[in-house]
Amino acid sequence: MALSPSDLPDWPHFIIQSMADGVITVDGEMRVTDLNRASEKLTGFTRQEALGRFCGEVLQSSMCGRECPLKMAMSSGEIISREAVLTNRFGNKIEVMLSASALKDDKGNLLGGVETFRDIAPLKHLENERRRLVSMFAHDLKAPVVGMAGLLSRLLRGKTGKLKKDQISLLEMIHGEMQRLENLITNFLDYSRLDLHIITPVRSAVQVEKECLEVINRLRPQAEEKDITLKLESPQDIIVLQADPILFQRALGNLTDNAIKYSPPESIVTLTVRDLGEEVQFAVQDQGPGIDTQDLPHLFELLYRGKGSGQESGLGLGLAIVKRIVDAHGGRIWVESEAGKGSTFFFTLPKKFNFE
Ligand code: ADP
């Protein structure tokens, strides 16, 4: 039968001892004052051996010294979370996610610091599996699709002899499907590479208006097919920001592409740029069907398609890619929309960004 809290003399102690995460506490001089069973297992020190030792002896990591998360947390009062590699007593390297915070009493007096850490080896293993899968997709799946699309277009151009009308129309259909598949693979790969940080922004000075116009000009033929007017509203002054121009165009292009795709014919899609000082705000507004409130919180998730996507083809990758790009630049993204009243997708990018 399970005991209730009142049956146990020191309930918090039992909670900490039974936790799956490692917990270690130090005093103001960074000497270990307590550690739980999970910490004993991870570090290789028993509680008795660890008590009174300097924290860095028990929890050795590359961050010991000036970057010590515990010291930083104790001096700033903030919670510091980091991925780190610990070396335990037996010289084994263990990848952990750690969180350090100042340990204070009820009156706010500093007693020392507390660090919790979790072995993330299983997560890292999964991440490596994903990396392997992504590179397998990149090499083994994309190459034949691109190759087949090339061969098909040679056939279509009559390189192997004149084709009959119905042969051409069949080949055109196959070619269209191949392009859809190639698009899907490219988008999936781009998403995965951004998500796994295989692609990171390559910084350069981006002249905002010029890049926006390039996106608009590239998508104009698509808009013209539906008699949609594409407008750019941007400040007179030249705005320059530090960003990856290819990723920036990709993000803006995906939003504008969606705005065109989901808009009715003869409507207006407006791209607005606002200089907010430290950052630049971009808004892509359409007069389309709008987005159901139930869909709004999920739009930026991978493979999510809203109820309003209707007959439009798509896979729910476009917005997930935009979000990863904006996140990688340290910006924010959100959407304002009401069913039947059009949608506006916003994102901001800092003008100066410290790329890691
Ligand atoms: P896809 O368009 O391929 O479905 P996205 O990730 O680009 O994938 O978009 C996810 C969903 O968000 C879409 O399925 C659609 O429901 C909704 N959506 C995106 N942009 C718009 C828009 N401008 N107007 C209405 N709905 C939109």
192-231: pLDDT as tens digits:
889 888 889 998 999 999 999 999 999 999 999 999 999 9
Buried b (16+ CB within 10 A) or exposed e, 73-97: bbeeeeebeeebebbbeeeeebbbe
Instruction: Give the pLDDT confidence score for residue 193 in this predicted structure.
Output: 87
* Residues with a CB atom less than 6 Å from ligand 1: 258-259, 262, 286, 288-289, 291, 299, 304-306, 308-309, 314-320, 343
Q: How far apart are CA 248 and CA 188, in angstroms?
A: 18
| Closest-CA residue to 352 (of 280, 246, 283) | 280
pLDDT level of residue 356 (50, 70, 90 thresholds): very low
What is the atom index within ligand 1 of the atom nearest the CA of 288? 24
Say what the pTM is: 0.72
Which is higher by pLDDT, 37 or 316?
Answer: 37
CA 324 to centroid of ligand 1, rounded, Å: 16
d(CA 305, CA 291) in angstroms, rounded, equals 11
Q: How far apart are CA 69 and CA 205, in angstroms?
A: 34
DSSP classification of residue 235: -
- In the predicted structure, residue 314 carries a pLDDT above the cut 70: yes
Predicted confidence (pLDDT) per residue in 7-35, tens digit: 667 888 888 899 999 999 999 999 999 99
* C-alpha neighbours within 13 Å on the C-beta side of residue 298: 11
Which residue's CA lies nearest to atom 7 of ligand 1? 318
pLDDT of residue 1: 58
Q: Ligand 1: distance of its center to the CA of 309 in Å?
A: 6
User: Residue 309 CA: which ligand 1 atom is closest?
Assistant: 16
* Protein residue with its CA nearest to atom 8 in ligand 1: 316
Mutate to test the pocket of ligand 1, among 299, 323, 335 (most ligand atoms within 8 A of CB): 299
For the cut 90, the answer to whether the pLDDT of residue 321 exceeds it is: yes
CA–centroid distance, residue 95 to ligand 1 (Å): 38
Residue 235: predicted pLDDT: 93
Q: Which residues pair with 116 in a beta bridge?
A: 23, 99
Q: Average pLDDT for residues 304-314, to the nearest whole number?
A: 79
99 in Cβ contact with 80 (< 8 Å): yes
Hey, which of 195, 257, 260, 262 would you mutate to test ligand 1's pocket, going by the most ligand atoms within 8 Å of its Cβ?
Answer: 262
Query: Between vectors from CA 48 to CA 45 and to CA 51, what angle results, nearest 5°?
Result: 85
DSSP 8-state code for residue 137: I
Ligand 1 atom with minimal separation from the 305 CA: 14
Among protein residues, the one with the nearest Cα to ligand 1's atom 9 is: 316
246-302 residue pLDDT tens: 999 999 999 999 999 999 999 999 999 999 999 999 999 999 999 999 999 999 998
Ligand 1 midpoint to CA 131 (Å): 27
Q: With a cut of 70, say whether residue 2 has pLDDT above it.
A: no
Closest Cα to atom 21 of ligand 1: 258
- Highest mean pLDDT, choosing among 58-62, 103-107, 219-223: 219-223
